[in-house]
């Protein structure tokens, strides 16, 4: 009797622990689509990031590894896309270093990020030692920081992709850390050790609310200065905006829109920084689009710049450094590399216009995004319906 009582008690304890009968697996949680899931973002991934990286891999004859610095979202969509579109066809392995504050153990998005990283790092064309580091990318601008040390050990990179949700030149809310300008300057300094070309992608907001007033004024002066001191730039600017030279001084911010002035100034600053660090810039293209569903000016820009090593011997103040041959001055190099910027800005790709007038491009982007999101665990069957909640924006026939 005592044995039966003990056995019954054990069964009760087991039932309390496991429950009665089989336990069904939990259903898949619904995942809401995000703004960066829209077809316009896939257009940028495909026609800017993949395209330029494909050209780079071809020109460099890469046959083993592509090193990539990124600021990925929690789903690591850019990494998954580039591994499939660039690395897989060429037999390359993608080794990435990412920065994402969701990687901190205390962040509520950590579990999703960990799951995505575990899944991606098992793919054939991903280096399993790749990682997303739990830190703010801006800390790369502090050469005493751990993020800077990670960049130093993982670089130099074949591609740097600064895909921001906010503004590169926005008002800094975080105190005690460098800004994006400092972080990018440190990256370009680190890239000096590369003997190969590399790509820089920057995606940033460019509406007035996303640009600090003082930074905006400084960038306007950067663009104005190159216009006033570089005849080639001034000629290209006049051609791009259909101006007739009449000898009168021009103020760039008064002749172009605020978004165009921002693109001119930011790109000019980057090109000048490249020259300082022994790099030669080739400004490839700009793509812009508008967030939200309201009409208005584009408020997001994605730019692509390709750099190649262009080292030079720095003169010393005492004149003791003697070199063979004549080295072009930094000012001349900046002028030569900057002349193309006005044309690239004026001829930028208007992504919303493309997707609103070219049904074939719209369908391609929807199909590619559907496959990409399905591989990440989203409901692919609901994607098109979500996209077409804003039907006036797209060409569908």
For residue 397, is it within any domain? no
For residue 347, is it within any domain? yes
Q: Report residue 173's pLDDT band, with 50, 70 and 90 as the boundaries.
A: confident
* CATH, residue 219: 3.40.50.150
Domain that holds residue 128: 35-310+327-352
CB contact at 8 A, 113 and 100: yes
For residue 83, is it within any domain? yes
pLDDT at 26: 41
111 Cβ partners below 8 Å, 6+ apart?
none
- Extract the tokens encoding 167: 């503004």
Segment 245-291, tens digit of pLDDT: 666 788 998 899 999 999 999 999 999 999 999 999 999 999 999 99
Report the pLDDT averaged over residues 177-189.
Answer: 96
Segment 1-26, tens digit of pLDDT: 545 555 555 555 545 545 555 544 44
Alpha-carbon 302 to chain mean position = 8
For residue 360, is it within any domain? no
For residue 20, is it within any domain? no
Segment 86-136, tens digit of pLDDT: 999 999 999 999 998 765 555 555 667 878 888 898 999 999 999 999 889
Pairing state between β 198-205 and 300-309: antiparallel
Q: Alpha-carbon distance 64 to 61, whole Å?
A: 9
Phi-psi region of 176 (alpha: psi -120 to 50; beta: other; left: phi over 0): left
Pairing state between β 65-70 and 93-99: parallel
For residue 226, is it within any domain? yes
Report the number of distinct structural domains present in the chain: 1
For residue 289, is it within any domain? yes
For residue 177, is it within any domain? yes
Q: Alpha-carbon distance 23 to 210, whole Å?
A: 50
């Amino acid at each position: 009797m005592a044995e039966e009582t003990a056995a019954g008690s054990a069964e009760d304890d087991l039932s309390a622990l496991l429950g009665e009968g089989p336990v069904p697996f939990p259903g898949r949680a619904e995942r809401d689509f995000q703004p960066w899931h829209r077809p316009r973002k896939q257009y940028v991934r495909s026609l800017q990031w993949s395209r330029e990286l494909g050209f780079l891999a071809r020109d460099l004859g890469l046959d083993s590894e592509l090193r990539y610095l990124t600021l990925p979202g929690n789903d690591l969509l850019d990494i998954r896309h580039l591994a499939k579109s660039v690395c897989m066809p060429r037999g390359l392995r993608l080794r990435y270093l990412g920065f994402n504050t969701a990687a901190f153990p205390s962040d509520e998005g950590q579990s999703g990020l960990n799951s995505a990283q575990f899944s991606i790092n098992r793919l054939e064309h991903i280096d399993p030692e790749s990682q997303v580091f739990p830190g703010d990318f801006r800390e790369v601008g502090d050469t005493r920081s751990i993020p800077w040390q990670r960049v130093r050990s993982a670089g130099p990179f074949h591609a740097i992709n600064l895909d921001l949700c906010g503004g590169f030149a926005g008002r800094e809310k975080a105190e005690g850390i460098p800004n994006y300008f400092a972080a990018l300057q440190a990256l370009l300094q680190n890239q000096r050790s590369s003997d190969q070309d590399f790509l820089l992608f920057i995606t940033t907001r460019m509406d007035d609310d996303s640009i600090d007033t003082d930074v905006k004024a400084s960038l306007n002066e950067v663009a104005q200065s190159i216009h006033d001191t570089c005849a080639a730039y001034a000629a290209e600017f006049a051609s791009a905006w259909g101006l007739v030279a009449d000898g009168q001084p021009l103020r760039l911010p008064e002749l172009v829109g605020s978004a165009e002035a921002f693109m001119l100034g930011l790109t000019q600053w980057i090109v000048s920084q490249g020259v300082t660090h022994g790099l030669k810039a080739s400004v490839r293209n700009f793509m812009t689009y508008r967030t939200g569903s309201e009409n208005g000016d584009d408020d997001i820009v994605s730019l692509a710049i390709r750099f190649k090593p262009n080292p030079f011997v720095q003169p010393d103040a005492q004149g003791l450094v003697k070199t063979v041959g004549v080295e072009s001055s930094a000012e001349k190099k900046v002028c030569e590399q900057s002349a193309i910027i006005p044309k690239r800005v004026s001829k930028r790709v208007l992504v919303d216009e493309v997707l609103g007038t070219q049904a074939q491009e719209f369908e391609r982007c929807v199909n590619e995004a559907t496959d990409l999101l399905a591989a990440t665990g989203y409901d692919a069957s609901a994607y098109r319906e979500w996209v077409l909640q804003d039907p006036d924006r797209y060409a569908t026939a």
